[in-house]
Amino acid sequence: MNITKLNLEFSNKKNYVNMKSLIVLFLLSLIVNAQTQSGALSLNDCIEIALQNNPNLISSSLNVEESRIKIKEVEGGLYPSLNLNVSASRNSIENQTGGGFTTNDNFTAGLSTRYPIFQGFKTTSAVNAAKENYNSGEAQHKVNTEDLIFYVTEAYYNFLQAERVLEAAEKSVERAKLYLDFAEAKYQNGLASQSDLLKAKVEYSNANLNLIRAKNARLSVMGSLNTLLGRIASEPIAIVDNLEFNDYEQLEKSLSVEENISRLLEAAYEERPEVYRLKSMINAQKSNLNVARSEYFPTLTFDANYNHFGEETSDLRASSYLGLSLNMPLFNGFSSDAKVDMEKIALRNLEQQDVSLRNQISLELWKAYLAVKEAIERINNTKIFYENALENLKIAEGEYKEGVGSMLSLVDAQTNLITAEESYIEALADYGVSLALLKRASGIENIEEIL
């Protein structure tokens, strides 16, 4: 077999692989379209499923409901209590002279009520604290919801990245197998050294090893996404591939305007649920402080009862009682002072947490802002890197085919292409994740419109 025939065979094989790849890509596109119509999940689909089925979020909503019911419990102290009292007893006493026992029966039935007229604003403060705790619980549920949305988005793009890397790894194996076949043909005809053949075999083995890793990486991130959706980790899942980015030029210009970060930070202080949560906690703590201070005030209570009593049920006598009681605390061992001081310290602690939270929000927003900016720049860079690596591989293939290039150059070109393609895919996925992180940090859903 001469070199011309080898070149023809290499070209035919390459054309066959290219044609095969085109056919495979065409069939995959049909499959993807079919899946989109028959069950492939978009990012919004995944988010909706997670919001409905994630057990941690369901538990969070139950905590909110529990705090809502707690308000009703505390509000019970604002109303009078009403009790029905019924009792029957028999008392037997032995006679001093012997000869038996003297038995007395006693029957009582009646209603009693108590109403705390004034308790030093204790009950109203407790109700206000319960309401603010409910507001805080709602805000925490909102925090958990937004965290879950981000985690689902992150897992979604990680899954897309893993699928793209897997596709690239499969193409790499096909190319490595083609190079190995061609090297073996050249070696058998004395046109290639054993070193070239061994390099081709090593490259083929490495390509298969990368394929194994890519398959396992895909299964791993699939499990993470399934878990967030409230499904078992091993359940198969198909998602819509939206790993594309076309408007980076305009967004890159907007990100270069530093005034945007001030606008986003101002919006974050207004929109982030963590801010609402801490504000409600501070209000609740102020009410707790009032509850502690209520021990300094006197309490005024109204009591009333109406009873029937007697030794025979047929001959019961009626009695009634109305009264007001005033209780003035004079000294309780300084325990009230200690309670007030503790509540004051707790309030100051929350106020400092508010300052710390705002600083933390500004840091999160700044990092997210820079992450989006970096991802856009990496997309530009890695796209050029990938295009150059692809062109370099074509040149290396042609040179080796013509007998003027080495297998080492071809392997290096293949390695560079793999690195470039994976870097480009990673940059695309990181853009989607970083943009979701910027939305989470700013509290703004339509962040693209703001930018």
Residue 4 lies in a domain: no
Structural domain total, the chain? 1
Task: Give residue-wise pLDDT tens across range 192-204.
Answer: 788 888 988 999 9
Residue 208 lies in a domain: yes
Per-residue pLDDT at 205 exceeds 60: yes
Are 176 and 201 spatial neighbours (Cβ–Cβ below 8 Å)? no
Q: Tell me how crowded residue 271 is: count the other CB atoms within 10 A of its CB.
A: 15
Per-residue pLDDT at 37 exceeds 70: no
CATH code (residue 64): 1.20.1600.10
Between 38 and 183, name the one with better pLDDT: 183
Residue 282 lies in a domain: yes
Residue 438 lies in a domain: yes
pLDDT at 56: 95
DSSP state of 330: -
Query: Which sign does the torsion angle of CA 217, 221, 227, 233 carry?
Result: negative
pLDDT at 448: 64
> Which pairing describes strands 299-310 and 81-94: parallel, antiparallel, or unpaired?
unpaired
> Which pairing describes strands 81-94 and 101-118: parallel, antiparallel, or unpaired?
antiparallel
Residue 5 lies in a domain: no
pLDDT at 24: 41
| Ramachandran bin of 225, using left for φ above 0, alpha for ψ from -120 to 50, beta for the remaining angles | alpha
Residue 302 lies in a domain: no
Q: Encode burial over 322-356: b for 16+ CB neighbours within 10 A, e otherwise.
A: eeeeeeeeeeeeeebeebbeebeebbeebeeebee
pLDDT at 258: 60
pLDDT at 106: 87
pLDDT at 34: 43
Q: Which of 79-93, 135-149, 222-236, 339-353 has the lowest mean pLDDT?
A: 79-93
| Ramachandran bin of 100, using left for φ above 0, alpha for ψ from -120 to 50, beta for the remaining angles | left
Q: Where are the alpha helices (DSSP H) in 89-193?
A: 122-188
- Residue in the block written with tokens 């549920």: 141
Query: Which sign does the torsion angle of CA 229, 226, 25, 435 carry?
Result: positive
Between 183 and 31, name the one with better pLDDT: 183
Residue 86 lies in a domain: no
Listed residue (428, 425, 427) closest to 167, CA to CA: 425
pLDDT at 426: 94
* Three-point CA angle 134, 136, 137, nearest 5°: 65
pTM above 0.95, yes or no: no
How confident is the model over 322-328, as a mean pLDDT? 90
pLDDT at 343: 93
Question: If 0-12 CB within 10 Å is exposed, 13-18 middle and 19+ buried, where does residue 183 land?
Answer: buried
Q: Tell me how crowded residue 18 is: count the other CB atoms within 10 A of its CB.
A: 11
Per-residue pLDDT at 277 exceeds 50: yes
Boundaries of domain holding 406:
41-79+120-297+334-450
pLDDT at 3: 45
Provide the residue type at 12 as one letter: N
